Structure formats: C-alpha cells, structure tokens
A and B are shown apart, each in its own frame.
Chain A
C-alpha cells in the first residue's frame, strides 16, 4: 500500500482536497487526476516548456514539481487563461498571428507569455526571446510566435 499525502490546492479558481502519491509530478496530477490535459508532457525533464504552468504567480515546468509540493499553492493552467468564454488577448493574438502549427507547444507558450506580461508589461524583443527561451517549438521557426507575443503586448497595453 503506497502512502498518500494530503494536498489542498487551488487550480484555475477551483479548490481541491486530494490524496496524492508522493511520486506523482504536478504535471501528472493535473492531467491524470484533474483531467486538465491542456498542459502537455514533452521532454518530462524540464527542457521543453510544454508543461509550463503558473505556480504562485511564477511560471514553472510542472514536470519538475511534485504534486505534494503544491500543497496550499495557487495554480493556473492553460484552461484557466481564458475569461469566461472569451479567449485571453494572448490566446487571440496567437490565433490572429497564425502562431500555431501542430499546437503541442502552444499551451506552454501562451501560459509563459501571460506570466511574462504580468511580470513586465512592456518587454523588449530581446526580453521576450529570453523569457520564451525555455519553450521549444519544432514547427514554426518562432517568427509567428514572436509576432503573436508582440501583438498581445500591444493589445494589453492599450487596455
């Protein structure tokens, strides 16, 4: 019998009280236990950014966080980015700029972009590239993604 540990966590505004296997990563917990499959597993070792989520206001790789560590945490995943049925400006900018090809990296890109714009509303192109350096995309060559981030920045700064 595997010992489980109590975790209270808020994900996308909803409170959960669960018992988790200590070996379970936050990524596995979100996908398998909460059925929030928008967060993707790419490399599963912190190199690709596909599993990015916002944990207590900071973007992290959820594959390198244990679910037990998230006790008392506030988490936002890609499913929590939209407001009601409206796409978030970052999501809309990705659609409008055609910044999506296969789409696998997109949730991580959007979540990381949202975290960046919360932290610094007006990043330079260089700062954007540095902030997104941990989010790999194998399709686009990044040009349209950077276009989308620039567009999102402008829309959000216009208010």
Chain B
C-alpha cells in the first residue's frame, strides 16, 4: 500500500477543503469498506480524511421527517428503542449487516457511499423514498436516493461533496415495513438477494394505498421494483395479486451469476422473498 496523508478535520468545511485539495482523497467514517478496498489496492487514497468524530452527524431525530446523520452507526440503528417502536424494519436491515464488530463501526453514510449493489441501507432507504443532503464548498443540495447510485461502487457524488444527512420525508408513508436478506450462511455473509418493502394501507384492511419494493444484489445498483409496485398500488393485497407482483419483481431484476448464486436462482429468490415480505406484513396486523 502506498502511503497517504492523514487528516482529522475539526469541521465539515475543513473536510471539504481537504477533499478539494488532494487528487484522490477518501473520507473515512467507519472504515469497514474503505480499509478492505485499500488492502486490495482497489482504493488508493493520497489522503485519508477522518470525519468520524465530526459533531452533530452521528445521531438521528424526527424533525419534519426523520433525519439520520451520515455518521450514525449501524449498531445505533439496531439498538434504538425509538426506532424499534416506530420503524422496526430499519433494525432488521441493520442486524442483517455484517458482524457486531462491523456494525459497531459501519455508518449509514458509508453504506450508501460505498454503493455496493447489495448495500442493506441502499435497498432499505430506497424503499423509504429517502432524500440525501449533500454539502460542498458551493453550499448544500438535496438529491433523491433514487438518483444517487450510478453503478457498482459508484455514486452521483462529485469531487468535493460530502453526504451529510439522510432524510425520510414525513409523507413517505413508511408505516409498516420489512427487510429480508437471504444468504447461504445465517450470519455475516453478503446477501444473495435483499428485499426491503414499506407499505401504507387502509388501517385494518388489506387495501394497499402505497407500496415500495426495493431489491439489493440483483442489479448494478440497489433498485426499486416499479412494475411490481404498480400491480399492487390501490388494490387489495390478495394472494393472487401478491403472486403476480412477485413475478413482476422477479422479471425486473437483472442479476449476475457469480460464485454466490446464478442469475436464475437470484430471480427465483426475488419472487419468493417479495411474496414472503408482503405476507409477513399482512400477517403482522
């Protein structure tokens, strides 16, 4: 590994300044993806900007929608009583991410910015219609998460930009949700397929007002199953319709074959897991 400068900025402005000053600077949050990339020489920083102790970025609150600081750790999401009561599916997505040793370090912002096709919070936050707050020397901009992922490990972030906050709008309709991951081992392995679903329905009925279905590890980026959603929106979630939607989602998925699974197997998993996810939500009421 080539050596690099190490900077621990006192403020976001200092971090952005360093990002602009170096050719190939990387922000270090939890480091659980970055360090692996550096060891394999797929990431060759000339500067590491350690932002993990920057103030006010490692917590979350409800304030005109949910706002998650990009440095919130995955473990903090997993153990939050407040989130268990309001959005337990976030805890499911957290718990399905790596080991406790990883979750104690890994951050929400890092999970999104690393932009793995199987990033748990990529799929989960896509299903929550998340918006990202992005800061640069020119000021702040917002971007729907839908537009953020541009390819495997690639995002729409430009040089000198920092993801600071993940915002779930108040009207996102995430009253219910579920996160499912299927992997060969039961514990830490990357998922063959991940499914995140949020549902808004008429209380006490199976009438779907809005549903969001996101899929991980079945395309170059986490993606929404828009056709499947269209099948279900404003309809009753009957067994027949759920089967049809699950098939649509499977058709929309464009997975690769690799050492973990074949593309056909992943498509079959999508069909099974989308149906299972919706049925889990229906059974919980």
Please report A residues at the B interface, Cβ cutoff 8 Å.
2-3, 5, 21-23, 25, 44-47, 49, 52, 58-61, 63-66, 68-69, 71, 112, 116, 130-131, 133-135
Contacts and interface: CB of A to CB of B under 8 A. Distances in A.
B188 interface: yes
Interface residues of B, number: 27
Contacts, number: 85
Given A64-B105, A112-B101, A133-B99, A69 B3 contact: no
A58 B187 CA distance: 19
B259 to A, nearest CB: 15
Contacts of B104: 58-60
A59 to B, nearest CB: 6
B4 A22 contact: yes
B100 interface: yes
Nearest to A108: B101
Contact of A133 (B28, B52, B100): B100
A33 B77 CA distance: 35
B22 interface: no
27 contacts: A3-B3, A22-B6, A23-B3, A25-B35, A45-B39, A46-B98, A46-B99, A59-B100, A60-B104, A61-B99, A61-B102, A61-B105, A63-B35, A66-B28, A66-B35, A68-B50, A69-B50, A71-B8, A112-B101, A116-B100, A130-B187, A131-B100, A133-B188, A134-B98, A134-B99, A134-B101, A135-B99
B32 interface: yes
Contact of B31 (A49, A69, A131): A69
Interface string B98-122: 1111101100000000000000000
Interface of B: 1, 3-6, 8, 28, 31-32, 35-36, 39, 48, 50, 52, 75, 95, 98-102, 104-105, 186-188
Contacts of B39: 44-45
Given A21-B3, A66-B35, A66-B48, A130 B102 contact: no
Contacts of B105: 60-61, 64-65
Contacts of B186: 133
Closest 8 CB pairs of A and B: A134-B99, A133-B187, A22-B6, A61-B101, A58-B104, A64-B35, A134-B101, A45-B36
B45 to A, nearest CB: 10
Contacts of A44: 39
Given A59-B104, A61-B99, A69-B28, 6 more contacts: A46-B99, A61-B102, A64-B102, A65-B105, A68-B6, A133-B100
